[in-house]
Structure 1
Amino acid sequence: MTISMLGHRDELGLTEGQLLVDGAWRDGTENEQWTHVHPASGEEVGRFAVAGESDVDAAVTAARRAFDEGDWPKMRARERIAILHRYADLLREHADELRGLQALDNSVPLSFGGIYTTSVGAAADVFDHHAGWVDKVGGETLPPYQGGDHIAATFREPIGVVAAILPWNAPFLLFAQKLAPALGAGCTVVLKPSEYATFSVLRMVELLIEAGVPAGVVNVVTGPGATVGEALINHPGVNKISFTGSRAVGKHIVEASADGMKRVSLELGGKSPAIVFADAPNVGLAAMTTMGGLTLGLSGQGCVVQSRALVQREVYEEFLAGAQGMAAGATYGDPFDPGVLACPLINSRQLERVSGYVEQGNKDGARLVTGGERLDGEYASGNFFAPTIFAEVDNTSVLAQEEVFGPVLAVVPFDTEEEAIRLANDTKYGLGATVFTSDVSRAFRASRALRAGTVGINGFTLEPHLPFGGFNQSGLGREGGREAFEAYTEQKTVLLPLTEELM
């Protein structure tokens, strides 16, 4: 059987992607294009414009003008709320179309695109949730501290022009997590989707325009991050950068932001642990849940997947057996096939990277339980890699410390609760964690002791109203909830005298 995306492309009516600048769709000034190669079939499925430096400048200038002179920042809360809710409704109406475009982008199966946290529905809920903050986030009045009779008040005002830079792996949710609070706060945006997930994002932007977002409020520049993203983060007209991606790029963004003191929100990945105690309610289910994050949907290409399992010795072999069973159930192929549950790695470079980590794991003496190789035969045209489990992994090794971003699980044994917490926190990251136990006291102790932004007990999920982000080198700031909304505002203090003298 040969995997082909061309029929799906034609059925969806995919057209060449363009830039959006000041409300007009157009090609780049340098007439360059990016050819998207599908990760499952190796076929060229579409093209889109590559923005030049002058295009980025035009997009930022349009966003700047829309913020400084336009109606969006000054729009009454009722109007902005209505537009955001209307957009959420449009997302739900076009959910099937968007899932199909995502499958053409990154090969995430339709079967997985309906799971809540990666679904269009979750993105719509994020917009609905943040629409609710538009008329609730404000300042306060404070009593005078000294001097004459006066009013001391604080206000929250939109931060300005936002550069929103998306990764490829979860375009629906991450689009929403960045644009919903930015637009709700009254900011304008220059959006750069990943070159590996552009078509679904362009359609989401078209729906924003249909919902009533004015020209210039959202602009889109497409193309590779090394050129387009670089021009965007260095542009002096940008007030804030919101980025989800690698730690290396995040560090570079922090350095680039220093020149203009740009505000920065970063989500930079992790090496999240799943801690499985012997008293877990169901060790087999814990193993399936943990390995499922590495075999289903994104095949481990997610920032918060639990790619490091810390398992108490009494149930170590039981856990390995359950994880192996989950790995054996992974299915691959055409992402439009409802029986396909997992996707390939996004490109050949990532395939080589994951292979390198597996090779390193073998060199470091970890025991390869299953997988560890590229899938061939009918899958040879794509970047498919077998679900991989390593046992007896040293927690200080490369395999346990580095973010592999692929279907590779490192299983580390432990004896005591204290050792489990020490091993879990022995990492440069700190994005998420899951604790599997039947002991409520232990669950509470562990959740407070873990240095991670989100901790699940006997399961892990994300919700639109909860803040999400990491400790340590997993990022700066939070996405979701009131914290995210306020991150797109600046606080201003106003002193208003009620007499001739203020002080």
Structure 2
Amino acid sequence: MTALDLPAPPTAPVRNFVDGRFVEPDAAAWQHVDPATGRADFTVPIASAADVDRAVRAARRAFDEGPWPHLPPRERKLALRPLADLLRAHADELHHLQTRDNGIPITFGSSYRMSARMAADIVEYHVGWIDKLGGAAPPPFSADTPTQALVLKEPIGVVGAITPFNGPVLQFAQKVAPALAAGCTVVVKPSEFASGVAHRYAELIAELDLPPGVFNLVTGLGDTGAALAGHPGLDKITFTGRREVGERVVAGAGTRSVALELGGKSPSIVFDDVPDLDAAARTAMSLVSMGLSGQVCSTQTRSLVQRGVYEAFLESARAQTADVRYGDPFDPATTSAPIVTPAAAQRVLRLVDGAVADGGRLLTGGGPATPPGAAAGGNWVEPTLIADVDPRMPIADEEVFGPVLAVIPFDDEDEAVRLANGSAYGLSAGVYTGDVGRALRVGRRLRTGTVGINGPFVFTPGTPFGGYKASGVGREGGREGIEEFLETKTITVRLD
């Protein structure tokens, strides 16, 4: 018996959570298929539009009539703080569910940046802001305006949160914690490939002393998400996912507030004075080949490399692929994930085939992979390196979401910046150089929300994360993250 054949620890069936209790939805269930094996395993309830409506109405009542948005800061802190302890206490279980949901290797999913420990830190960080969200009392502007102004910060209202499949332990906390800390009520719709984690979160949140309707969970497919995003009872929509879906969210939002993280085509810019070229190349390749196999919005999937070190960079990047180990995601030796669905895997392969047909130089990979001992139905794609990519190729412009690195040569700093900014996206970037002045100069010129110097951008609970251009609007993390869920009110009092 291989590790893939071992039974998973028992888990509760996925259910919706509405108005303070677990409920069965009206509609049918969707069959989840393990992306590593192609085998059907558990089912996910599909919440109908009526189910979504009940959840939003519960959240609306809890905000308009309940105590939650008006609680003194100390009481809201005391209510939310235990969630961090619960996440740490149930970390191993959440990591297991995450791997079962989307095939992320258990060793990668339990590493700090994807883990329940990080999620707990996110909760604690935002809880810490609750009693520090005061407004201001600016003095009278002039003798002609004898008024005292009070600038107040208030919760925005009912929030609809739609989360992606990759890194659900982190993503759930990143959306729910600041919304609840701000005094909002929430309805969450997770990706169908993150429903196990979301259901366990609901069970843990149910242990908190929150009024009914403050937190609600509805699971399902795209129609469920569309019903939530389009519901007129929401005041705010926060969404992470594909650009085309995010554009539909914006179209249906009308005058409601939105926060969107819609992906990226992030560049790494490698100059010929990079202190360690081998490390830079291996880092670039490992970002797409290890962990989630490139299924991360901020991954640097374009490497722009100065011509003097171009071929040496390619040699080191190709060598890194020997470190990839596919197989049972619960096996500690497995380094990299399957693609989440067969359709997504086929799309990755089509983009690679198109790049080669258009003149790209395929150095390694480019086809499906079958790990030893794995079931034939797994969605595995070989780690792929393509050189001499023309910036006009789809592989250089579209978000691949697979283990593919496209490499483009450049001559000088201006060309590198022009190529980097040539994408419609602007989520993240990396600058690799031994010249600190150049690193900061180029970093400031890049039209992107985050930049890492001599490595990828490192997210922490206190650092804002988000993008420019087609990568979205709004920020998660830092003070900016909780302010996404606050409104500003100004009251004036005449002094004469």
- Tell me the residue number matched to 1:497: 494
- 2:305 aligned with 1:311: yes
Whether the 8 Å CA contact 1:5–1:45 is kept in 2: the answer is no
In the alignment, which of 238, 243, 257 is matched to residue 239 of structure 2? 243
Instruction: Find the counterpart in structure 1 of residue 340 from structure 2.
Output: 346
Is contact 1:90-1:211 (8 Å) kept? no
Q: Deviations over 1:411-470 (max 9, x none)?
A: 001111111111111110000001111111111111111111000101121111011000
Aligned twin of 1:433: 429
Measure how far apart 1:144 and its partner are.
Answer: 2.9
**2:191 pairs with 1:194:** yes
Distance apart, 1:333 and its partner CA: 1.1
What's the secondary structure of 1:57's corresponding residue? helix
How far apart, in 1, do the equivalents of 2:5 and 2:239 lie? 30
- Structure 2 residue corresponding to 1:401, chosen from 393, 397, 404: 397
Q: Secondary structure at the match of 2:44?
A: strand
Aligned residue runs from structure 1 range 193-232, under 5 A: 193-225=190-222, 227-232=223-228
SS of 1:368's partner is: strand
Q: Deviations over 1:246-276 (max 9, x none)?
A: 1101111111001xx1100000100000111
Shift of 1:311: 0.8
Deviations 1:303-345 (A, max 9, x none): 0001000111111122111111211211111111000111100
Question: Following TM superposition, by how much is the alpha carbon of 1:149 offset from its aligned partner in structure 2, in angstroms?
Answer: 4.7
The DSSP-based 3-state class of the residue aligned with 1:197 is: helix
Cα deviation, residue 114, structure 1: 2.4
Separation of aligned partners in 2, 1:189 and 1:275: 40
* Structure 2 residue 369 is the aligned partner of structure 1 residue 372: no
Partner residue, 1:90 = 86
TM-fit CA distance, 1:498: 4.5
Query: Residue 319 of structure 2 aligns with which residue?
Result: 325
Which residue of 60, 72, 80 corresponds with 2:76? 80
**Separation of aligned partners in 1, 2:139 and 2:84:** 41
The residue that corresponds to 1:382 in the other structure is 378
Q: Which amino acid is the alignment partner of residue 229 of structure 1?
A: G
Letter in 1 for 2:126: H
TM-score scaled by structure 2?
Answer: 0.97
Once residues 239 and 254 of structure 1 are traced to their aligned partners in structure 2, the CA distance between those partners, rounded to angstroms, is 13
1:257: which partner in 2?
253
Residue type of the partner of 1:184?
A
The whole-number CA distance in structure 2 between the counterparts of 1:17 and 1:387 is 33
Indicate conservation of the 8 Å contact 1:465/1:480, yes or no: yes
Cα–Cα, structure 1 residues 397 and 3, in superposed 2: closer, same or farther, change >3 Å?
farther
Deviates more, 1:118-127 or 1:190-199: 118-127
Number of the residue aligned with 1:70:
66
Q: How far, CA to CA, are the matches of 2:438 and 2:209 in structure 1?
A: 50
Pairs aligned (count):
492
The answer on 1:185 being equivalent to 2:187 is no
Provide the secondary structure at the position in 1 that maps to 2:188: strand
SS class of match (2:426): coil
User: Separation in 1 of the partners of 2:338 and 2:54?
Assistant: 36
* Alignment partner, residue 281 of structure 2: 287
Does the C-alpha gap of structure 1 residues 267 and 5 become closer, same or farther in structure 2, counting only changes over 3 Å? farther
CA shift at 1:5, angstroms?
Answer: 5.9
Query: Structure 2: how far apart are the matches of 1:412 and 1:419?
Result: 11
Distance 1:66 1:5, change over 3 A: farther
Alpha carbons 1:191, 1:220 under 8 Å: kept: yes
Q: Distance in 2 between matches of 1:360 and 1:276?
A: 25
2:167 corresponds to which of 165, 170, 174? 170
Q: Which residue of 1 aligns with 2:157?
A: 160
